[in-house]
């Protein structure tokens, strides 16, 4: 790129020199200004420093500084021209109008970058700058054409292009007054769905932010009209040729930008226009949830109002008024620590499986504590970690997978109401999430932030608190538990929520350098679980001998089931080849002076995690949850589903027996006729596919988000 730009620059210098001599331009251009071209080029080239920045705001600030330098440098050069008065006047007007538009559009593009959640182009560093530059030059291009028409058209018509340009810009401002508010409330752009659901989507389209932004844009419009008025007035003060040069220069820059910067075509404006165009042409694929499928889903506790914009809106989390916490927490809220144990299938835990006694002695000790409740028949709703955590903390079957989140950048944040935000809204003063790997892996940093988590610690952040070097996939569990204990003492205000994701039990199960072998050490999977349990054991011992034992709820729960490939035939002959990505998960809940049953056997899944905790805490709020509290309505719905790109999973009652089906979505070959006509029959995989596709479309339209009003 550098080599190409240098070639273009020397080509431009040669062409400039040739044209000024060929057409006998003023000696100032042939000699003095020609010597100024290299310093001007140096200033312009500073824009390329933006490629070294990964921070969008820093990039925009750097670009603005370069533009200001360019302005003062051009002013300095142009003042040396014998007709400097005209050149300086035109230069100032174009600069002030251009920087005004650039600053305004930069704010809009950053707003979009920050709030829009399904933007794969956000992977490109400096995308905000590229989009802001493309749109700024787009508006200046049409302004330049209007300026050229002003000097060529008859007197009556010369203002028509300017008036058209002004009207278009005013419409643009009105569009953004709505779109910016919609982005804030739904994390999506203005789209035909919001218009078609005017009643249900009114809170998204017309909201407090929209009204506030409308007045902000009105102020912008006033400033814009003032600058444009000065611009038009000055057209009469300087000869035409000065305007010609600037207008032609802008047209050339605009054409070059259009062909060299593809960001113009993935701007929010272009996406919105395309969505309405496709909708108008009828090319937008509309997925409808079959009424029979909808009735069958109700047997799984999945209830939707498809005619509403918010299809999963519920007025409260649970209906029961039973008290689930001891009286001592009626005044002082308990602290909450959640350990999301990587791949913790219950079959590997002694408390659940007598054949594995000794593999997880610390978990078994926690399970035998008189204040610990053991949940059985609790299955993961999704997999792997990021979607598993979304399902548990936000109570939704996520229709997007890890590959789409991590590699395709299809979900950087969301607008759902999740457990951390609900706890903060109800008196919890601190929340954090600790992970062994880089916190931006699978967008955990932005996704957990959008859940309401205040601080996220990854590999780099933990260097400040953990001595030595990382010993596993990032930090090992023997390093993570002590730093979590440290945070509980030093980093927080009570009551707090601290979440930790363990790592050593992640495939390939041999990474941790501080592995603790089990028995002969010949089973790598068992070794890894024994290692994490050993780290947890020290934590549990500290916990039991501290004040936290009396005022803190401790939860150990799987983020998802262990991957079936872990069960090789030589080490696990009974399980090898028989498991899917869905399995019973371990879920242990310690509450000081616990009044819950010792064992709960209600069939449940990850989407029931947050509703269950909220009922225990006595917090009941409007929500878009798909799950139910295990102590409330979940027992009415014995059927559960699992959803992920790795596979769709159905676990349902059929004729008094439990029937389990699993398939990878890509392997399904279904026709419309595959959907049954009788809601009394069990849900089939082809019917599940209809639900899966419908849910993806609803998810991408933001109809699972929580209305922030």
The predicted-structure confidence for 366-384, as pLDDT tens digits, reads as follows 999 999 999 999 999 999 9
Nearest to 335 by CA among 428, 246, 407: 428
Task: Tell me the C-alpha to C-alpha distance, in Å, between residue 165 and each of 79, 131, 413.
Answer: 31, 20, 36
pLDDT at 705 over 60: yes
Per-residue pLDDT, averaged over 258-272, amounts to: 83
- Cis? peptide before 660, omega within 30° of 0: no
Q: What are phi and psi of 263, to 5 degrees?
A: -60, -25
Question: Measured on CA atoms in the order 488, 493, 494, 499, is the torsion positive or negative?
Answer: negative
pTM of the model: 0.81
- Beta-strand pair 378-379/604-605: parallel
Cis amide bond preceding 471, omega within 30: no
Q: Which helix (H) or strand (E) holds 497?
A: strand 496-501
Nearest to 497 by CA among 507, 487, 506, 505: 487
Please report the pLDDT score of residue 233 as a whole number: 73
180-194: average pLDDT: 76
Q: Of 169, 155, 171, 137, which Cα lies nearest the Cα of 235?
A: 155
Strand 430-434 with 455-457, pairing: parallel
Q: Quick: pLDDT tens for 16-75.
A: 888 888 888 878 878 888 888 888 888 888 887 777 777 888 888 888 998 999 889 888
Average pLDDT over residues 262-287: 82
Query: For residue 202, what pLDDT is reported?
Result: 47
Strand partners, 623: 314
Q: What is the pLDDT of residue 312?
A: 92
- The residue among 538 and 111 whose pLDDT is bigger is 538
Low-confidence winner among 93-102, 226-235, 478-487, 630-639 (lowest mean pLDDT): 226-235
Encode pLDDT of 313-355 as tens digits.
999 999 998 999 999 998 899 999 999 999 999 999 999 999 9
Nearest to 68 by CA among 37, 38, 103, 33: 103
- 376 phi, psi to nearest 5 deg: -115, 165
Instruction: Compute how many other C-beta atoms are within 10 angstroms of the C-beta atom of residue 133.
Output: 23
Position 207 confidence tier, pLDDT thresholds 50, 70, 90: low
Domains annotated for the chain, with CATH where assigned, are 296-700 (3.40.720.10)
pLDDT of 466 reads 96
Does 201 score more than 50 pLDDT?
no
Q: Where are the alpha helices (DSSP H) in 84-126?
A: 84-115
Is the pLDDT at 360 greater than 70? The verdict is yes
* Residues 6+ away with beta carbon under 8 Å from 472: 436, 479, 503, 504, 511, 512, 513, 514
Q: What is the mean pLDDT of residues 512-521?
A: 94
Q: What is the mean pLDDT of residues 170-185?
A: 83
Residue 685: per-residue pLDDT? 93
Q: Name the token pair of 520.
A: 């002969």
What separation in angstroms does the CA of 60 have from each of 49, 63, 110, 117, 501?
11, 5, 9, 21, 35
What residues contact residue 545 under an 8 Å CB cut-off, 6+ apart? none
Closest to 370 (Cα-Cα) out of 598, 553, 550: 598
Predicted pLDDT of residue 708:
58
CA distance 34 to 25: 12
Strand, coil or helix: 556: strand
- The mean pLDDT value of the chain amounts to 88
Query: Is there a contact between 475 and 509 (Cβ–Cβ < 8 Å)?
Result: no
Looking at residue 195, what is its pLDDT? 67
User: What is residue 376's predicted lDDT score, i.e. its pLDDT?
Assistant: 97
Angle between the N-to-C axes of helices 84-115 and 268-281, in degrees from 0 to 180, rounded to the nearest 10: 60
The pLDDT of residue 482 is 97
What H or E segment, with its residue span, contains residue 607?
none
pLDDT in the model for residue 199: 47
pLDDT tens for 679-690 read 999 999 999 999
Which one is predicted more confidently, 52 or 168?
Answer: 168
How far is 569 from 577, CA to CA, in rounded Å? 8
Residue % of the chain over a pLDDT of 70: 95
Token readout for 447 is 């996704």
- H or E segment and range at residue 337: strand 335-341
Going from the C-alpha of 472 to that of each of 445, 507, 536, the distances in angstroms are 20, 11, 16
Supply the pLDDT for residue 226: 81
The dihedral sign for the CA sequence 387, 512, 363, 351 = positive
Better pLDDT: 183 or 205:
183
pLDDT digits (tens, 9 = 90+) for 652-676: 999 889 999 999 877 888 876 778 8
Distance, in Å, from the CA atom of 464 to the CA atom of 160, rounded to the nearest integer, reads 63
**Percent of the chain clearing pLDDT 90 (strictly above):** 50
E strand or H helix at 342: none
Give residue 534's pLDDT. 97
Could you tell me if 344 and 558 are in contact, meaning their C-beta atoms sit under 8 angstroms apart? yes
pLDDT beyond 70 at 203:
no
Check residue 194 and give its pLDDT. 66
Q: What is the tens place of the pLDDT at every residue in 537-594?
A: 999 999 999 999 999 999 999 999 999 999 999 899 999 989 999 999 999 999 999 9
**Other CB atoms within 10 Å distance of the CB of residue 295:** 13
């Amino acid at each position: 790129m550098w080599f190409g730009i240098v070639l273009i620059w020397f080509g431009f210098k040669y062409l400039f020199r040739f044209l000024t001599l060929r057409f006998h331009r003023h000696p100032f251009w042939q000699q003095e200004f020609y010597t100024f071209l290299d310093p001007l080029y140096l200033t312009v080239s500073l824009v390329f420093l933006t490629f070294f920045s990964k921070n969008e705001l820093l990039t925009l600030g750097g670009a603005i500084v370069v533009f200001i330098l360019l302005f003062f440098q051009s002013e300095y050069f142009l003042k040396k021209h014998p007709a400097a008065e005209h050149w300086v006047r035109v230069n100032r007007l174009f600069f002030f109008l251009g920087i005004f538009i650039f600053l305004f559009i930069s704010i809009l593009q950053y707003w979009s970058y920050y709030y829009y959640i399904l933007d794969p182009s956000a992977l490109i560093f400096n995308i905000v700058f590229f989009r802001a530059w493309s749109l700024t030059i787009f508006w200046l291009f049409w302004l330049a054409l209007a300026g050229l028409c002003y000097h060529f058209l008859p007197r009556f018509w010369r203002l028509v292009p300017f008036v058209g340009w002004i009207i278009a810009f005013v419409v643009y401002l009105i569009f953004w007054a709505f779109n910016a508010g919609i982005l804030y409330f739904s994390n999506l752009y203005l789209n035909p769905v919001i218009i078609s659901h005017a009643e249900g989507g009114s809170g998204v389209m017309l909201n407090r932010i929209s009204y506030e932004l409308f007045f902000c844009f009105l102020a912008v419009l006033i400033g814009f009209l003032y600058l444009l008025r000065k611009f038009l007035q000055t057209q009469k003060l300087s000869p035409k040729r000065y305007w010609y040069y600037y207008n032609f220069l802008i047209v050339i820059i605009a054409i070059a930008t259009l062909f060299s910067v593809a960001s113009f075509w993935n701007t929010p404006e272009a996406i919105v226009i395309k969505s309405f165009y496709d909708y108008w042409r009828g090319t937008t694929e509309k997925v409808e949830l079959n009424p029979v499928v909808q009735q069958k889903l109700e047997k799984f506790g999945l209830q939707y109002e498809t005619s509403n914009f918010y299809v999963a809106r519920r007025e409260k989390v649970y209906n029961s008024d039973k008290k689930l916490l001891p009286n001592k927490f009626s005044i002082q809220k308990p602290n909450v620590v959640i350990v999301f144990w990587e791949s913790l299938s219950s079959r590997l835990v002694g408390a659940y499986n007598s054949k594995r006694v000794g593999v997880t002695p610390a978990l078994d000790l926690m399970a035998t504590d008189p204040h610990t409740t053991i949940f059985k028949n609790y299955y993961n709703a999704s997999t792997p970690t990021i979607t598993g955590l979304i399902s548990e903390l936000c109570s939704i079957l996520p229709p997007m997978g890890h590959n789409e989140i991590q590699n395709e950048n299809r979900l950087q944040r969301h607008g759902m109401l999740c457990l951390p935000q609900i706890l903060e809204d109800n008196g919890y003063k601190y929340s954090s999430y600790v992970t062994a790997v880089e916190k931006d892996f699978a967008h955990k940093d932005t996704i957990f932030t959008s859940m309401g988590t205040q601080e996220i610690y990854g590999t780099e952040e933990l260097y400040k608190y953990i001595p030595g070097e990382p010993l596993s996939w990032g930090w090992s569990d023997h390093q993570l538990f002590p730093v979590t204990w440290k945070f509980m003492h030093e980093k927080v205000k009570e009551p707090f929520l601290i979440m930790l994701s363990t790592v050593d039990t992640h495939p390939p199960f041999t990474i941790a350098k501080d592995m603790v072998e089990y028995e002969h050490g010949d089973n790598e999977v068992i070794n890894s679980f024994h290692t994490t349990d050993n780290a947890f054991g020290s934590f549990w011992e500290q916990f039991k001998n501290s004040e936290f034992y009396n005022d803190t709820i401790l939860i150990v729960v799987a983020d998802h089931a262990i991957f079936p490939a872990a069960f090789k035939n030589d080490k696990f002959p009974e399980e090898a080849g028989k498991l899917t990505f869905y399995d019973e998960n371990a879920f242990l809940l310690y509450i000081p002076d616990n009044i819950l049953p010792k064992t709960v056997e209600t069939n449940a899944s990850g989407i029931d995690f947050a509703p269950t905790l909220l009922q225990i805490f006595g917090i009941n709020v409007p929500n878009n949850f798909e799950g139910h509290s295990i102590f409330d309505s979940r027992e009415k719905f014995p059927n559960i589903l699992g959803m992920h790109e790795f596979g769709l999973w159905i676990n349902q009652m059929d004729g008094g027996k439990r029937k389990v089906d699993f398939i990878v979505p890509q392997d399904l070959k279904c026709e419309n006729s595959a959907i049954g006509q009788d809601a009394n029959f069990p849900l089939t995989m082809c019917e599940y596919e209809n639900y899966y596709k419908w849910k993806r479309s609803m998810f991408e339209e933001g109809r699972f988000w929580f209305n922030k009003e």
